Structure 1
Amino acid sequence: MMRHILVLLSFCAVLAGCAVAPAAERRSIAWDGLGRDPNHPDVTKRRVAGRTAPETDPNLERQRVLATLRPYFDAWWAVRDEILAENDRQLGSKLVICRSCVAQPPSEETTGSIR
């Protein structure tokens, strides 16, 4: 019986040692968006002289124009499509995908067998 307890305690000690990562290998923690972000240290924001103003959203003016147009008319659809295209462009610039994971489209249209 004593032998079983010793084996069980040894096994638990090994598992506990594996569960703790060294401080040098600190990885980001999944954050649910509530409260303070645990991945970013508390740093006070400082205003730096000469810093340029943040880029304004180009869709603000388009949304104002869209509000003045009659819904579902040709001009309304055109402005709405511009807004959606800009949103897609902004998302594409923020989204990082492994370049080798994405297959590049062929440079010319080809048809026929895939062999």
Structure 2
Amino acid sequence: MQVAQGGHPYTLIHPDELRRRLELGEPFTIVDARSEETRRESGRTIPGSLRISASELVRRIPELPRGRTILLLADLAEQAERAQELTRAGVTDVFVIEGGFDAFARAGGDTVPIS
């Protein structure tokens, strides 16, 4: 589902759809922008994700590969704001998981311990 708040669109993706697309090898750049506290409580992330704190997200956008779909993991209350920061900065293909990381894990998505 395409969401356009403030004119900056991003796409909500259902956890089952994301799991299927990752299993098929669809190339996502996964950015884990959850708070340190949330990451610590969870103890897990999606394999291959880049850990970039929410406060550093805009500054570190140049590090993200151009032309790749960005899958954004953020604290539920901040998902829309973080996605809009990316789209305002020119990142055009941003996905946010409906229900966040926990919904993805409950749907059987592949997760790994944070080392």
TM-score, length-normalised on structure 1? 0.18
Give the helix-richer structure, 1 or 2. Answer: 1
Give the strand-richer structure, 1 or 2. Answer: 2
TM-score, length-normalised on structure 2? 0.18
Structure label with greater radius of gyration: 1
